[in-house]
Amino acid sequence: MTGWRTRIAPTLWEWRGVWLFIAIMLVFRSAIADWNQVPSGSMIPSILVGDRILVDKLAYSLRIPFTLQRLAHWAEPAHGDVVTFVSPLDDRLLVKRVIGLPGDLVALQGNALSINGKLATYRELTAAEVGIEGGDPHPSQRYFQESILGANHLIMLHPEGRSTSDRNLPPSVVPQGHYLVLGDNRDNSEDSRAIGFVDAKRILGRATAVAFSLDYEDFYKPRPQRFMAELD
């Protein structure tokens, strides 16, 4: 045992610079900025499967690395922000769009959104207008620009994708210290309609851009047009 310790200790010391670099990078990704893989299509068309998104973890607060404990807090998520958070249901890392702020009265009926009695407006777009390459492989999908309270973003609807009751959200007041989040792929998203309101302490940061993107269905072919594309 002593001989093993004698041999391994010098090796660890020689690699001290590597261990320090790894530790710094882990702290950086936990508390300052991160890049997250997107494995599901719940945010199509804004975020595609295979996108690697950049997350500003200092957008709202500073946290103790590797925890949800906040050391300082200086901003709140706004309507339309794309955020990453720890799911209150099963602690998975999710990315969704902030729709309802604390105190907002939010409802979703037939995929028509209203906040505090104000109805969102919708402008239908073609697949080409939203950047779907090679035509739309699912003609039943429809794309819209949703606009409400100064926030404008794309959403995708698939009328046969979910039952009407699953798509709807009865009028609900967002509790203080919580947020209502929805996926842009409204008919295929595990969001506040399934997991409930999200505690502000669980929100890790704001997704700002796509660092790079790979098409998983085309032999991981790069999508150069999405490299460093900003998220609306």
> Which are the catalytic amino acids?
42, 96
What is the enclosing helix (H) or strand (E) of 84?
strand 82-86
Per-residue CA distances from 180 to 20, 54, 96, 191, 226 (Å): 39, 22, 10, 8, 28
Measure the CA–CA gap between 153 and 145, rounded to whole angstroms: 5
Measure the CA–CA gap between 44 and 49, rounded to whole angstroms: 8
SS3 state of residue 68: coil
Q: Please enumerate in sequence order all residues whose Cβ is within 8 A of that of 69, keeping only pairs 6 or more positions apart, or say none.
A: 63
Per-residue CA distances from 211 to 31, 51, 167, 189, 230 (Å): 18, 8, 31, 23, 9
Measure the CA–CA gap between 204 and 179, rounded to whole angstroms: 13
Measure the CA–CA gap between 89 and 69, rounded to whole angstroms: 19
Measure the CA–CA gap between 15 and 34, rounded to whole angstroms: 25
